[in-house]
Structure 1
């Protein structure tokens, strides 16, 4: 044999030895070697009963093929297993596999070799006529199903995945080697892996079967087995996407729904307070006319809240959907995008699906020490586990209290409640991560494309003052950091930064910003004097075991991973040293975002240590102990999040509006103009705001957190009601452009002014007096009438 000839492996699975024709195979290989000037290394794999096979006799029969190898095992495991079993015996630079009866003429095998020699990583034989006349009905059906599935579901560039003639180099060998399907559908898995990687250069060769080839007839049992194998493939490769989507669906619909029987909105008990602001915001766009945009719970002034997400929900309700679908569908889409980007970025960084899945799990199930808090209260016994599955409150909800109360300093922002309450948070994070993923995985661009793509990204970022203002800080840090470390993409980052800056400054000039001053504040929510010890203690309780794992991961991970953690570390430092909003707790967004990357580092450390243990520890018991300990660490890292998920599973629903206020909501919807603003004596689920009308002032916490002067308005409401005459009412309504006023009895609620409704009823007859709530509604016309 000429030592300079390229060696090509030819893998030949053989289940039925009657199909093995030594003379024909020898002739086939010799002709192929002569035609292509290569050395063929045949590997015959006996994947059926092989006790009677005499390898010495076979070697004698194939003496003219000095490179031939044989592989055999006792039990049939399928063609896919047979092909993979040949790979350890491979010697060549390129590899082909086909059936032992050589069903495809020599010319097509030659074309496959030519394609590989020309530089393709993968060359695939494709039968134009897949459904041949000589195959049974069952196989005919399978062929048609696979053709549809491969082309229209997996979006492969060809329809025939099951042709038994394929060639590949070492890149393709990697994907075949790591397959999990053993039987008929292994071809589908192999090709899908190659094409989904987007790193394989491939081509197709049109082939036809030689005459008189008899196809295998499949029985129903085989069809069932292949269906299970196909499901196995789908679940292994796409199950994580299905899980992320279903989890997103459950999370959003479990906290916000609709009772069509009673025509009321259902809000989970843990999301109720936030939705007292969200629902009026949505309804101001769907049932009201909130243009130019004002805050519906503080009428008459431009909005200072990032409202775009709720504007989209409002428009969906206005034209297409019920309010729960309008909000939940965009919420779950955004949260799914967030999970998808966590998975994709970690997969891009570490090229290990286990790390990616673990990164998603670490995000969903936080690493806080809530589990220790729970078992310290309930003990480690069977009753504790029973209470775990039925609990409705979090162990810790600092600084707002919880089961244990403020003595437990694990924050309320560690669990998933933050994403059910702040619906725009998940989509905002998802878009920022999508920008990061796109900008880092894309190739160095031409100047023209860099400017165009930078322009598009800049426009998207410039929308964030009205979508999610805190994310602008994330964009700013990422743009600046990547501008410094990516010389080939600086024009892209510069263009994106410049365009977004222009858009943001224009909006700030127009009054879109809250205008909150940034102040120095060390220690986030740590009480008392901040010391090194109580700083470490606070974050140990709030981060848990993933914190030291993330440090270990940072030390071990490749340079690309280290660089990506730098912006996350910077955000963590900023969140602990500055206050960016009127309340310090709003800094949670910086930590929620940075923890995404810390979790990736923790997942990397855990998987890397597990793999290193398998590679370096020779003692069997010590290896099992080490790997079991690492698995236990992984479980402990999500134990707090598992405990924190049950309050969401078990939460009960409140009605918005309360059942007694349904008629009032309908009255405001039918009898007032969509643009009307209402003077209100009470803010609790005010029916006018639930009908899309703006009210003078809602629950003070909401407008106060946005920087509105709630004390001044509260004083105006108090003075107006205490006057007990309609003259002052008329002056206030004219000054603040209020169309109606609502007055209701209040003798017990200390948060609202004292009101004795009869005093007003004695003065004037209201336009409407609700019989269920005893709320009186007066129009400005009737109030200001002499």
Structure 2
């Protein structure tokens, strides 16, 4: 299939990129690692990033300049031919020079088999969970589980704006006729895969699985690199999937007291939570099932950090100097400021910055972690080159896609706590993340290995950012920075668990088991909720073969602005990828759009009894079509009636659904 070919070409192109520009990254490996587990995910991440941006730029050009109605056709042809030609040319030139050396990607066969089994289990777990929450049935019904469907509404709408429409210049489908403030490139990738022939759920799930598996491959290899033990790798995926936290223990205590624990655990079908919004699944694996682009952003972030870990390795090689003297040397010695590999730093910065519209939070998180590493590393100018290039590429994208900046950085102390204090923040972190983050602060003091302590400090910086800064109207979205920190800290906790397991005497293994329970028990119960609150009987259904979706997709374009009922979320109308004047307000509001004004205009049109009001407002706002839905008789206030008569006088009826429920009027 063409979609699979596209992904294969992305991976091969990414490998050629690594092989050509970063050969030392493999040759510098001295820990006996099987670098195939690094090369594979990094090749997928960087290759997909490069090919998909090239595809987007070409599709944009073909549609806006060449006026091609379906720009993904020529864009895909060019991208696939060019990528295949580049790969063939590269290896041809290497053959001509008799230099086809490829670094030994498998150095320890016994370890390779163990790791292959581990990654096979992770792959099965990720694939099953991803398809459990989002899948299509044989009759063409797409199902989104109860724990994830809310965010899927704008995501699927954006996907369909590329696979069914030509969304160039790109707009936000739930706030059409404006710019796009929300990172959308993962949805563009998915839309292209659907355009190339994959069914919607496959197009969305397949890259999600590869991205999540890829990040966990890198995370486990980080752990092996730091602790030189497969035992350190083994628990990392479990620590990632199953969060620490206190909600389960509090729930158990309460129901033990009430003598109904067994029935309460069995009957409960919602995420446990005693802090604000915790019962949304805000801190568990559900976030990655919901926000698919976050895993891809983490993959790119981890890949960039991996290459800069070489700088920290060399800086920490001097084990003789005492801490204060060693730290002073990192700022006063010539090596502290000399260049190591400025070209590599520049390219990695460009790649990291290019991920901004895949997931901006992951880019910011990566820059924060790299900033922490730079404080203690030599070759700080390389870090500076990376940071400047990443920020420049990010700002360039922002100016292209956003008319008014969506990023208004302001100091905001306390995240979502009502009365935050330093002690209150620590207690809150303990509640939502158990010992994962608070315990890491203790590890930073207790552990002896300098490199590990520096990484703990660096991994905690996104948490500091989450509690001190706000970039969007909804500060709740800062939870991604805490999740990013927890994901990287799982690398360290894997090493701690392995070290305890090796201490057979003195109760080391008993301590390891207790610590593991504290780290994953809450997340295991969260995962039970993911299992029981999704699936066919616990999901919202939309007919992929809906006549409404088909008509809108075939007869409207991204240039048409459509007024639709603003209570649509996971619905057959947004499934067409059309540009709605305003969909469900939260999605657009949290992305930085002025939803109050459009909500008022929408209500005024739908409630108008005077056709002149409808005519004047639709012309003023540039609305081309109005959708009337019999399923809603009143506005969101539940009292003001919706009137179709004035709309009928102004507009021309151009479509009526088979069930006669939905009618589309052409206005203007």
Work out whether the TM-score is over 0.5: yes
Kept in 1: contact 2:134–2:144 (CA 8 A):
yes
**What residue in structure 1 maps to residue 519 of structure 2?**
637
Q: How does 1:337-348 map onto structure 2 within 5 Å?
A: 337-348=214-225
Moved more, 602-611 or 447-456: 447-456
1:460 is matched with 351
Equivalent residue, structure 2, for 1:692: 577
TM-superposition CA deviations, 1:17-76 (whole Å, max 9, x none)? xxxxxxxxxxxxxxxxxxxxxxxxxxxxxxxxxxxxxxxxxxxxxxxxxxxxxxxxxxxx
Give 5+ residue unaligned stretches, structure 1. 1-120, 122-151, 156-193, 201-229, 403-410, 618-622
> Which runs of structure 2 are paired with 1:250-399 in the superposition (5 Å)?
250-261=128-139, 263-379=140-256, 384=261, 388=265, 391-396=268-273, 398-399=275-276
Deviation track 1:472-511 (CA, whole Å, cap 9, x = no partner) reads 3223334444444333x44543433333233223223334
Matched, 1:715 2:597: no
Q: Work out which of the residue numbers 500, 506, 509 in structure 1 matches 2:396.
A: 506
Q: Distance in 1 between matches of 2:620 and 2:491?
A: 55
CA gap of 1:397–1:744, structure 2 versus 1, over 3 A, is: farther
**Residues 1:196 and 1:631: Cα distance change in structure 2 (over 3 Å):** farther
CA distance in 2, matches of 1:370, 1:710: 35
The question of whether the paired residues in 2 share the 8 Å contact of 1:682 and 1:744 is answered with no
Q: Which of the residues 444, 454, 457 maps onto 1:566?
A: 457
Q: Decide whether the 8 Å contact of 2:297 with 2:362 is kept in 1.
A: yes
Are the equivalent residues in 2 in contact too, given 1:373–1:395 (CA < 8 A)? Answer: no
Alignment of structure 1 residues 424-503 onto 2, 5 Å: 424-441=293-310, 450-487=341-378, 489-490=379-380, 492-503=382-393
CA separation of 1:736 and 1:598: change in aligned 2, threshold 3 A: same
Task: Compute the displacement of 1:776 (Å).
Answer: 1.9
CA displacement at 1:265 relative to structure 2: 1.3
Q: Secondary structure at the match of 1:298?
A: coil
Q: Aligned residue for 1:742? A: 627
Assess if the C-alpha contact under 8 Å between 1:547 and 1:602 holds in 2: no
Deviation at 1:415?
0.7
Aligned CA distance change for structure 1 residues 659 and 330 (closer, same or farther; 3 Å): closer
The aligned counterpart of 1:525 is 416
- Shift of the 299–655 alpha-carbon distance from structure 1 to 2, 3 Å rule, reads same
- Partner residue, 2:123: 245
Q: Which range moved further: 659-668 or 756-765? A: 756-765
Which residue pairs with 2:277 in the alignment? 400
Secondary structure at the aligned position of 2:234 is classed as: helix
- Report the 3-state secondary structure (helix = DSSP H, G, I; strand = E; otherwise coil) of the residue aligned with 2:178: strand
Correspondence for 1:649? 531
Per the TM alignment, residue 742 of structure 1 is displaced from its structure 2 partner at its CA by 1.0
Please say if 1:754 is aligned against 2:610. Answer: no
- CA offsets 1:739-770 (integer angstroms, 9 cap, x no match): 32112343355258631335655787622233
Q: 1:345 to 1:414 in 2, by over 3 A?
A: same
Distance 1:290 1:660 in 2: 20
Residues 482 and 549 from structure 1, CA distance in 2 versus in 1: closer, same or farther, beyond 3 angstroms? closer
Aligned position for 1:4? none
Q: Could you tell me which of 532, 546, 555 is aligned with 1:662?
A: 546
Partner of 1:18: none
The structure 1 residue matched to 2:479, chosen from 560, 585, 588, is 588
Alpha carbons of structure 1 residues 764 and 715: separation in structure 2 relative to 1, 3 Å:
closer
Q: CA deviation at 1:688?
A: 3.5
Alignment match, 2:21: none
Contact 1:267 1:655 in 2 (8 A): yes
* 1-structure distance, mates of 2:429, 2:303: 28
Higher helix content, 1 or 2: 2
Distance 1:569 1:750 in 2: 42
Structure number with higher relative contact order (C-alpha < 8 Å, ≥ 6 residues apart)? 2
SS at match of 1:250: helix
Question: How many Å apart are 1:269 and its aligned residue?
Answer: 0.7
- On the 8 A contact 1:459/1:499 being kept in 2, the answer is yes
Structure 2: how far apart are the matches of 1:634 and 1:331?
27
C-alpha distance in structure 1 between counterparts of 2:154 and 2:603, whole Å: 22
Aligned-residue RMSD, C-alpha: 3.5
Deviation at 1:343, TM superposition (A): 0.5
Alignment CA distance shift 1:641-1:703 (3 Å):
same
After superposition, residues 11-410 of structure 1 pair within 5 angstroms as 198=107, 236-261=114-139, 263-379=140-256, 384=261, 388=265, 391-396=268-273, 398-400=275-277, 402=279
User: Given the two structures, how large is their TM-score scaled by the length of structure 2?
Assistant: 0.73
Specify which structure has the higher proportion of strand.
1
Shift of residue 299, structure 1, vs aligned partner = 1.0
Q: Distance in 1 between matches of 2:111 and 2:651?
A: 74
Q: Relative to structure 1, is the Cα distance of residues 491 and 521 closer, same or farther in structure 2, using a 3 angstrom cutoff?
A: closer
SS in 1 for 2:237: helix
Contact 1:264 1:662 (C-alpha < 8 Å) held by counterparts: no
In 1: Cα distance, 2:277 partner to 2:439 partner: 29
The residue number in structure 1 matching 2:93 is none
Q: Deviations over 1:273-295 (max 9, x none)?
A: 11111111110111011100011
Cα separation, 2, equivalents of 1:364 and 1:604: 17
Deviations 1:683-722 (A, max 9, x none): 4145442112111100000111111111111111122233
Matched residue of 1:278: which SS?
Answer: helix
- Matched residue, 1:701: 586
